[in-house]
């Protein structure tokens, strides 16, 4: 049975469907420094129960191996976050944060035999540090919303996202990410054509998401056949239309 009041993660690999449920615990203190500046200190713990994110192993000479999942104890990460937020006028907000967390990552000392390749042999838990910067801007005359995130991990590549609950845009631990929301004016006749003329109040936006622009967050595992590259969030460009009513 599933409790639909809680978040549920689904993943499908071939014909195998897996389900997992997360738990998030957080306590935070916020101090207003000036009218436009505040500092937040937060401690967090994230847990994931059930089958977690699956992964594959690939070779140019062999087909993909069956997927596997992280163990529950490897899906746990905990730590703290220090964030400074500052409002620069009515249309520009900025934030800088430092996140420390203990999480599962890939050991740089492991050398695996590809014939017996099992990624869990190279997984270890240790401390990670990330620095994040965020800019949120609004351009009134064009109705454009911009969100930019720059993230950097200084000492490795954790498998799970540190403080994932605060990662609203799901951008992971590293990389440059850009999100654009543009208000679009649509003639009333188009709404009738789309069967949406029943809307009395609405707003249509064009969406553009560019994630991990520089293709960061790449880890490596040494094997007898050479290095195997691992990437959690590959570079992607996504677009769409949003209707608010």
Low-confidence ranges of the chain (pLDDT < 50): 1-3, 114-116
pTM attached to this predicted model: 0.78
Q: Is residue 18 part of a domain?
A: no
What contacts 244, CB < 8 A, 6 or more positions away? 202, 203, 204, 205
Q: Is residue 3 part of a domain?
A: no
- Give the strands of the sheet with 226-231, arranged side by side: 111-112, 218-223, 226-231
The whole domain housing 188 covers 24-244
**Cα of 72 vs its chain's centroid, Å:** 19
The token duo for 8 is: 């549920």
What is the domain count for the chain? Answer: 1
How far apart are alpha carbons 86 and 177 in whole angstroms? 20
Q: Is residue 105 part of a domain?
A: yes
- Give the per-residue pLDDT at 116: 46
Q: Is residue 10 part of a domain?
A: no
Q: Is residue 190 part of a domain?
A: yes
- Concatenate the DSSP letters of all residues of 170-206 into one string: ---SSEEEEEEEEEE---HHHHHHTT-TT-SS-EEEE
- Give the per-residue pLDDT at 2: 44
The pLDDT tens digits of the residues spanning 185-231 come to: 776 666 666 666 666 666 778 999 999 888 775 666 666 666 666 66
Q: Is residue 1 part of a domain?
A: no
Q: Is residue 133 part of a domain?
A: yes
How far apart are alpha carbons 25 and 128 in whole angstroms? 19
Q: Which of 124, 9, 125 is nearest to 78 (CA)?
A: 125
Q: Is residue 202 part of a domain?
A: yes
- Give the per-residue pLDDT at 77: 87
Question: In the Cβ-directed half-sphere of 149, how many Cα atoms lie within 13 Å?
Answer: 22
Residue in the block written with tokens 């996140």: 99
- Concatenate the DSSP letters of all residues of the chain into one string: ---TTS--EEEEETTEEEEEEEEEEEEEEEEEEETTEEEEEEEEEEEEEES--EE---BTTBPPPPPEE--GGGS-EEEEEEEEEEE-SSSEEEEEEEEEEEEEEE-TT-EE-GGG--GGGGEEEEEEEEEEEEEEEEETTTTEEEEEEEEEESS--BSSPTTGGG-TT---SSEEEEEEEEEE---HHHHHHTT-TT-SS-EEEEEEEEESTT---EEEEEETTEEEEEESS--EEEEEEEEE-
- Give the per-residue pLDDT at 124: 80
- Give the per-residue pLDDT at 96: 97
- Give the per-residue pLDDT at 136: 96
Question: In the Cβ-directed half-sphere of 148, how many Cα atoms lie within 13 Å?
Answer: 10
């Amino acid at each position: 049975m599933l409790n639909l009041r809680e978040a549920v993660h689904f993943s499908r690999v071939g014909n195998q469907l897996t389900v997992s449920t997360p738990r998030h615990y957080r306590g935070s203190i916020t101090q207003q420094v000036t009218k436009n500046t505040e500092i937040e200190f937060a401690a967090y713990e994230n847990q994931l129960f059930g089958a977690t994110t699956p992964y594959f192993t690939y070779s140019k000479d062999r087909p993909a191996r069956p997927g596997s999942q992280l163990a529950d104890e490897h899906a746990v990460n905990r730590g703290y976050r220090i964030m400074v937020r500052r409002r620069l006028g009515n249309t520009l907000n900025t934030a800088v944060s430092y996140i420390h967390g203990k999480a599962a990552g890939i050991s740089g000392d492991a050398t695996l035999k590809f014939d017996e390749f099992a990624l869990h042999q190279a997984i270890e838990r240790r401390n990670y540090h990330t620095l994040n910067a965020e800019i949120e801007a609004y351009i009134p005359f064009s109705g454009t919303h911009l969100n930019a995130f720059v993230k950097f991990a200084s000492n490795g590549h954790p498998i799970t996202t540190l403080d994932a609950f605060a990662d609203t845009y799901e951008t992971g631990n590293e990389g440059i990410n850009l999100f654009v929301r543009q208000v679009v004016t649509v003639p009333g006749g188009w709404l009738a054509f789309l069967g949406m003329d029943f809307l009395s109040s609405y707003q249509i936006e064009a969406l553009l998401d560019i994630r991990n622009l520089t293709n960061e967050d790449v880890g490596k595992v040494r094997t007898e056949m050479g290095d195997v590259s691992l990437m959690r969030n590959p570079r992607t460009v996504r677009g769409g239309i949003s209707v608010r009513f």
